[in-house]
Amino acid sequence: MTRVKLKHLAYVTYAVDDLNKLESFLTDFGLQTSHKTNDVLYMRGAGTDPYLYVAEKRAKPEYISLAFQVQTRGDLEVASAIAGASKIEKLNAPGGGERVRLVSPGKQVIDLVHGIAPVAALQTRQTFPLNISDTQPRKNRPVRQRAEATPVLRLGHCALWVEDGAAETAWFLKHLEMAASDYICIPGDPEPKVVGAFLRMDHGADFVEHHCILVNESINAGCHHASFEVLDMDAVFAAHEFLRTRDWSLDAGVGRHYLGSLIYDYWTDPFGNRIEHYTDSDIINDEYQPTRFVGGAEETTQWGMAPPPQFFA
């Protein structure tokens, strides 16, 4: 069976009852307003995507969907043949384009998009290389990073809550060109039971980030968190300090994860949605051997402020 070829994550969509309040938070988080009406808000990062975050005004705040950009329009045609998929339809959003909407067995809404016109990238500072041990690339170049709203580069990954982790993982691997990087398990007899998986885009020998989604079995539904990449470790810490001065709600961080190795910082927006800054993720290819992790949320942290036990409830 032909699988849909993925290019990168495109955007995440939520519903909120106050666009102005969300816009204020996301601006402090490092996104910028690209288009806004009374009914919808589009927020962009520093890259060429016209938006990374979409918020629709509704009476009930909730997570709506996650979108991937596909490689070609032909991939939309492949997607439209998947059971339950929509037809190819036009996107009424900045940059235009087309989409096919899928709904997974766990009722996750996955939009596959193509043809969205890019925008000019925004200027950012250069990354700060680290002078470590006998490798010292930063010469005659002091670090000057103040606490501020640090630019978001792109949407890196999302963690999705589902009722049946194994069934959801199988659906993603069957229909989308993905591969499992690592598995989350709980103790079982005769062996641990898989309840979640970190899935990456399957580009064979080409290196990609450790995961673009985490499928996580839970009593909850929707999106556990949306995660946005920033320039480097200094950007993570500077954003952390800035968000503290703005009195937003810290969830967990700064710390370094075990699975994927990324440096993380989790916050919650005014509507209780978890959102993450991250940097320094593992980069892997098809030679990587998946692990089966058995442990609690607090054990996923190597150093730093660990998430509470209910983090992955």
Domain boundaries along the sequence of the chain: 6-119+151-307
* 3-state DSSP of the chain: CCCECEEEEEEEEEEECCHHHHHHHHHHHCCEEEEECCCEEEEECCCCCCCCEEEEECCCCEEEEEEEEECCHHHHHHHHCCCCCCCCEECCCCCCCEEEEEECCCCCEEEEEECCCCCCCCCCCCCCCCCECCECCCCCCCCCCCCCCCCCCEEEEEEEEECCHHHHHHHHHHHECEEEEEEEEECCCCCCEEEEEEEEECCCCCCEECCCEEEEECCCCEEEEEEEECCCHHHHHHHHHHHHHCCCEEEEEEEEECCCCCEEEEEECCCCCEEEEEECCCEECCCCCCCEEECCHHHHEEEECCCCHHHHC
* Whether 213 contacts 108, CB under 8 Å: no
Give, in order, the Cα–Cα distances in Å from 135 to each of 129, 130, 139: 10, 8, 11
Considering the domain delimited by 6-119+151-307, tell me its CATH architecture: Roll (3.10)
pTM above 0.85, yes or no: yes
Pairwise CA distance, residues 62 & 272, whole Å: 9
Cβ-Cβ contacts under 8 Å for 298 (sequence gap 6 or more)? 306, 307, 308, 309, 311
Tell which residue, 179, 194, 11, has the closest CA to residue 110. 11
Are 99 and 89 in contact by the 8 Å Cβ rule? The answer is: yes
pLDDT value for 138: 95
Tell me how far apart the alpha carbons of residues 45 and 118 are, in angstroms, rounded to a whole number.
12
The predicted pLDDT at position 295 comes to: 86
65-77 b/e (C-beta count within 10 Å ≥ 16 → b): bbbbbbeeeebbe
pLDDT at 246: 98
pLDDT computed for residue 216 by the predictor: 93
What is the pLDDT at residue 299?
87
Residue 82 to residue 88: CA distance in whole angstroms: 12
* Residue ranges of the chain with per-residue pLDDT less than 70: none
98-103 sheet: strands from edge to edge:
32-36, 40-44, 53-57, 6-16, 62-70, 109-114, 98-103, 89-90
Q: What is the pLDDT of residue 136?
A: 95
Tell me the two tokens of residue 262: 């990324």
C-alpha span between 194 and 214 (Å, rounded): 13
